[in-house]
Amino acid sequence: MMTDVKSPLLHINEQIKSHCERVGRDPHSVQLLAVSKTRTADELAKLADQGQRHFGENYLQEALAKIAALRGRGLVWHFIGPIQSNKTRDIAAHFDWVHSVDRLKVARRLSEQRPPESAPLNLCIQVNVDDEASKSGVALAGVAELAAAVDALPNIRLRGLMAIPRADNDDGNRAAFRQLAMTLSQLRNTMPALDTLSMGMSADYPVAIEEGATVIRLGTALFGPRPPKA
């Protein structure tokens, strides 16, 4: 029974190592983030038993139940979904990372609501790298201004950028990933501590690694297809 669950994680970690070595990167420079929305606490626990520590959640109430169920395991929780203003207090209180900030208002609320006893909240700015009207994220032209404002806030630590490129780009999203990496490089001229490129999912993570991703967000590749809705 364990083999069926264990093999995808082992396979992905081997693939990360292989892709990194092929382009001269340290495999430890890429963090595997298990995208666990709609998955059960038991499914997460099985991955945690195999050594997976970082989990990404999109839906707050679902995530809070899993965080409570798996408390004490030393897991690192990332919020990666759209953020409504009325959800920032719980996100600030229960997560270690937030990847999906695209408005200063949200960043301010996370900063103000981060519990004083907690470490600074790691934060990435979500960039709408393909300028899609239906997708969240700040436009490329607005990244520098937003980053400077967010970086000045207390109780949070701006780490870098996140993007979800179009699903139908015919280059495996290489151009989009390269654009995000260039944008981070430009930001680092004035904010040298920035160190995170959250990009790449199950279908395109090898290209993302080649273009400098430091966090890849994988769900289906780890857990398999989601069961059909009832």
Going along the chain from its start, the domains and CATH numbers come out as 2-223 (3.20.20.10)
Rounded Cα distance, 168 and 176, in Å: 12
Torsion of CA 25, 10, 46, 123, to 10 degrees: 10
The pLDDT of residue 5 is 44
Instruction: Note the pLDDT tens digit of each residue in 63-86.
Output: 999 999 999 999 999 999 999 999
Neighbour tally for 81: CB within 10 Å: 18
Strands 121-127 and 156-163: parallel
Rounded Cα distance, 188 and 62, in Å: 35
Q: Which residue has the tokens 């000045």?
A: 152
Residue 229 above 80 pLDDT?
no
Instruction: Note the pLDDT tens digit of each residue in 125-151.
Output: 999 998 877 788 999 999 999 999 999
pTM of the model: 0.94
In the predicted model, what is the mean pLDDT of the chain?
Answer: 94
Question: Please, which residues bridge with residue 46 across strands?
Answer: none
| φ/ψ bin of 148: left (φ > 0), alpha (ψ from -120 to 50), beta (otherwise) | alpha
Q: Give me 161's structure tokens.
A: 């950028």
